[in-house]
Structure 1
Amino acid sequence: MLNNIKPKTGRLLISEPFMSNPNFKRSVVLLSEHGADGSVGYILNQVADVILKDVMQDLWQADNHIYFGGPVAADTLHFIHRAYDKLQSGEPIGNGLYWGGNFETLKILINTNAIDESEVKFFMGYSGWENGQLDQELAQNAWMVSEVSYLDLIFGNDDEKLWRDVIVNLGPKYAHVSNFPIDPSLN
C-alpha cells in the first residue's frame, strides 16, 4: 500500500487499516520534525477523556479537548497551532502550522477567549521514531504519507472521519481503503 510521497516535517502519516499496534490503530500523525536524528509527531485523531482545564487549573475557560499524541512521554503536554499572528511564537512545520510556542501567552489568549479551539490542538505525549525506524515501518507498508490537504481537517474533532478523509484525499487508488471495516473478520 506504499505511496510515493516521502515523509518530511509537516506531512501526515496515515496508519494502514489493520495496524496491530493499538497506539496507532486508524491514526493520522502530523510530523512536526523529521530528519537525520529521527521523527516526532502527534496523533491527530485520538481524543483523550480529559479537557485542558482538568490538567491546567489556571486555564479555567479551557474546554479544549486533549488528544493522545503518542506513547512517548505521555505525561507531557504539547500543542500545535495556526495562530502565529496571535502567539508570535512556535516552530514552523509548514502549511501555516506551528509546533509549540510561548505557553504563557497562549494561556492569556485562552483565558480571554482571544484564541479559538479551531486554532490550537493539545496533546499528551508524542510519537517518536529513531533514525531509520520510520523508513523501516514505511517499507513494511505500516504507513502511508500525505501532504496536509487543508487545515480544518487537522483541527476538527471527528476522529474517525479524519482518517477516512485523509485516505480519500490520497486519490482513487487508495479511496477504497477508507471503507475497510475496523475488524477484518467483518469483511
Structure 2
Amino acid sequence: MADMDSTGNLFGDRLFTSLERTEPATGMLLVAAPGMASPGFARSVIFLIEHDATGTLGVDLTTRSETPVHNVLEDWEPLMSKPPVVYIGGPVNRTQPICLGVTALGAELPEQPDPELGGAPAAQRLANRFAIVNLGAEPGVFEGRLAGARLFAGYAGWAPGQLHDELDRGDWYVAPALPSDVLAPAGADVWGDVMRRQAWPLPLYATYPEDIRDN
C-alpha cells in the first residue's frame, strides 16, 4: 500500500525497523513512517478495526472532510465529537460509512443480537473502550453510553501478509491507541501527539513535515 522514496527508506530502515517490534492487533494504531512518500498516508495514523489471517482493515484518524455529519446521518450528529464532520477513513469504499465509538467509563454496550438489525448487535466492542457502532440501530440506544464517536467514509485495507511486509521494511510503527486519538479536536496533530508519547527517539520526529521540502 505505501510507497517509499529514498528518504522514506532511510527513515524506515534505520528508525522503525531498529525499534522493538509490536505486533499489530485490533484496537492498535499504525503510525506512518517519517518521509512516507505516498501522499495519501503521509503523517497518517490508522486505527485497526480488524486484523487476522484474512487481512487488515483500519481507518485514518488524521484526515477529515468538510461534510457535516448532519448532511449524511442527521440523527447521529449529537453523538459525534467535535468537529462533527465526516472523516476520510481511507481510499477503499468511501460510500460505506463506519462509526467508531469510545465508550463512556463504566458504560455497558448493547452487544446482544438484535432481530431488528438482522441478528447483528447494535455495537461490537473492539478493544479497551473502543467499539464499532451499528448505524442501523437507533441513535438513542447509545445515549449515555458513548464518550464520543467518529463517522468515517471508507477505510484502508491490506491483503493477508501485506501489512507484515510493510512493517518489515519500516513503513509503519505499531502503537497502543488512546481514546483521545480517536476523539482528537480539530486543531490537534494526531500523528505528532502519538509520536511524542513513544519510546525514544521517536519524539524527536514529532514535527517531521509531510513534505521534507517544507522544512
User: Which category describes the TM-score, using the shorter chain as reference length?
Assistant: 0.7 to 0.9
- SS of residue in 2 equivalent to 1:103: coil
Cα deviations across residues 67-116 of structure 1 (Å, max 9, x unaligned)? 0001110111111112373751322221111123353222x368xxx469
**How much identity, in percent, do the aligned residues show?**
25
CA contact (8 A) 2:89 2:153 kept: yes
Correspondence list, 1:1-187, <5 A: 1-2=16-17, 3=19, 4-57=21-74, 64-83=84-103, 85=107, 87-89=109-111, 90-101=123-134, 103-106=136-139, 108=140, 114=143, 119-148=148-177, 150-158=178-186, 161-187=189-215
Q: Tell me the C-alpha RMSD between the 2 structures.
A: 2.4
Q: Which runs of 5+ in 2 are unaligned?
A: 1-15, 112-122
Amino acid in structure 2 at the alignment position of 1:181? P
CA contact (8 A) 2:103 2:145 kept: no
- SS of residue in 2 equivalent to 1:156: coil
Distance 1:159 1:24 in 2: 19
- SS of residue in 2 equivalent to 1:19: coil
Distance 1:75 1:158 in 2: 23
Distance 1:92 1:159 in 2: 28
Q: Larger radius of gyration, structure 1 or 2?
A: 2
Distance 2:182 2:79 in 1: 19
Q: Mean Cα displacement is larger for which, 38-47 or 91-100?
A: 91-100
- SS of residue in 2 equivalent to 1:182: coil
Q: Which runs of 5+ in 1 are unaligned?
A: none
CA contact (8 A) 2:61 2:182 kept: yes
- SS of residue in 2 equivalent to 1:24: coil
Evaluate the alpha carbon distance shift between residue 59 and residue 11 of structure 1 in structure 2; reply closer, same or farther with a 3 A threshold: closer
Amino acid in structure 2 at the alignment position of 1:83? T
Cα deviations across residues 16-42 of structure 1 (Å, max 9, x unaligned)? 122122221211111011010000111
- SS of residue in 2 equivalent to 1:22: coil
TM-score with structure 1 length normalisation?
A: 0.85
Distance 1:87 1:177 in 2: 38
TM-score with structure 2 length normalisation?
A: 0.75
Evaluate the alpha carbon distance shift between residue 60 and residue 18 of structure 1 in structure 2; reply closer, same or farther with a 3 A threshold: closer
Evaluate the alpha carbon distance shift between residue 20 and residue 116 of structure 1 in structure 2; reply closer, same or farther with a 3 A threshold: farther
Runs of 4+ in 1 over 4 A off after TM superposition: 57-63, 115-118
CA contact (8 A) 1:67 1:124 kept: yes
